[in-house]
């Protein structure tokens, strides 16, 4: 079974939250590990490195590795009431 080791992301900009400047990131792929310990990269096919902001006019793109956050399944909620009456008369 394969597992995700890292999420790969590029910084696309920044924003201000509670007076602090934070980075805005785009997930562009993953580093995976197979059952034998082999590692490989899966990249988003639509990712184009030429679109990443480059204010310092560099020839390279920095791709950061982030530990993946645990997946949280959405809480189960009861089906909405459809306003149907159990006693139907035809």
> 56-68 pLDDT, tens per residue?
999 999 999 999 9
* 29 inside domain: yes
* 75 inside domain: no
Q: Which pair of structure tokens corresponds to residue 82?
A: 């459809």
Q: Residue with structure tokens 């399944």?
A: 73
Q: Which pair of structure tokens corresponds to residue 77?
A: 């909620």
pLDDT at 51 over 80: yes
pTM: predicted TM-score of the whole model, two decimal places: 0.70
* 85 inside domain: no
Per-residue pLDDT at 85: 54
What percentage of the chain exceeds 90 in pLDDT?
69
* 38 inside domain: yes
* Cβ contact 63:8 at 8 Å: yes
* 78 inside domain: no
Number of independent structural domains in the chain: 1
* 34 inside domain: yes
* 72 inside domain: no
Domain containing residue 11: 3-66
Instruction: State mean pLDDT over 40-49.
Output: 95
* 12 inside domain: yes
């Amino acid at each position: 079974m394969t597992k995700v080791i890292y999420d790969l992301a590029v910084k696309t900009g920044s924003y201000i939250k509670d007076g602090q400047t934070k980075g805005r990131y785009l997930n562009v792929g993953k580093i995976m590990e197979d059952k034998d310990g082999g590692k490989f990269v899966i990249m988003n096919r639509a990712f184009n490195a030429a679109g990443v902001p480059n204010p310092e006019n560099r020839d390279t793109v920095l791709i950061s590795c982030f530990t993946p956050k645990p997946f949280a399944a959405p809480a189960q909620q009861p089906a909405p009431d459809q306003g149907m009456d159990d006693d139907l008369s035809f």
